[in-house]
Amino acid sequence: MKILIGTPIHQVKDYSMERWLKNVARLQKKTPADLFLIDNSSGLDYVETVKGYCQKYGVKNYKIKHLNLDQKLSSGRRINIAQEALRRIAIGKDYDAWFSWECDQIIPTNALDKLIKIMKLGNFMMVVHNSWDRKIPAVFNFDMGCTLITKKCLKLKRITDLWTEDWLETQTLQNGGSFANVHGAICPIYHLRK
């Protein structure tokens, strides 16, 4: 499978970015994948910072695109816009799937390989692996922090370009597809805090 690792980034997540990119470099050695980052910080300075981290840790096959978004938009809205840009990139290029992996989650180097195996075993269009909420450790974090999505799923008919995780799951089911919400297959997942 040809995989695109893609995530929105912002300067407020710099507390985790170096550790995350070091994790990406290690994961790429185990399961080769391209990396595409969509920066929605104010200005271009953070793009240069992240390029420096990529060079430092030997991240391969990466691109960073800056979106000049109004910083008054909520972080959720900016993330949705960046995720839609990543969806379009994954569809427009020769990728079989998009690995949506939040830049504040540290995962084992075999995590992507495990998601690929689960996807193939169940013939799923999407595999969502949730972790614990970093603010309330006894509660599951139900988002796309560590999610593998096939190109077929990404091409489903859409009514909006600003979709959410639960909307994508609903659309997948309504269009005859299937997805799996998985817990505990990837362990540990460290959801970093400042």
Q: Check: CATH 3.90.550.10 for 3-191?
A: yes
The model carries a pTM of 0.91
Q: Please state the separation of Cα 110 from the chain's center in Å.
A: 16
Instruction: State how beta strands 190-191 and 34-39 pair.
Output: unpaired
Give the C-alpha distances (Å, rounded to integers) separating 130 from 69, 75, 133, 145, 147.
Answer: 28, 20, 9, 7, 8
pLDDT the model gives residue 174: 81
Domain ranges of the chain: 3-191
Peptide bond into 188 cis (omega under 30): yes
pLDDT the model gives residue 91: 94
pLDDT the model gives residue 160: 60
Question: For 76-106, what is each residue's pLDDT tens digit?
Answer: 889 989 999 999 999 999 999 999 999 999 9
Question: For 106-131, what is each residue's pLDDT tens digit?
Answer: 999 999 999 999 999 999 999 998 77
Phi and psi angles of residue 118, each rounded to the nearest 5 degrees, phi first? -60, -45
Q: What is the mean pLDDT of residues 40-52?
A: 97
The confidence band for 9, taking pLDDT boundaries of 50, 70 and 90, is very high
Q: Quick one: tokens of 109?
A: 């180097």
Question: For 129-188, what is each residue's pLDDT tens digit?
Answer: 877 666 766 766 666 789 999 999 998 866 566 666 677 778 888 888 888 888 889 988
**Sequence-separated (6 or more) residues with CB below 8 Å from residue 185:** 114, 115, 118, 129
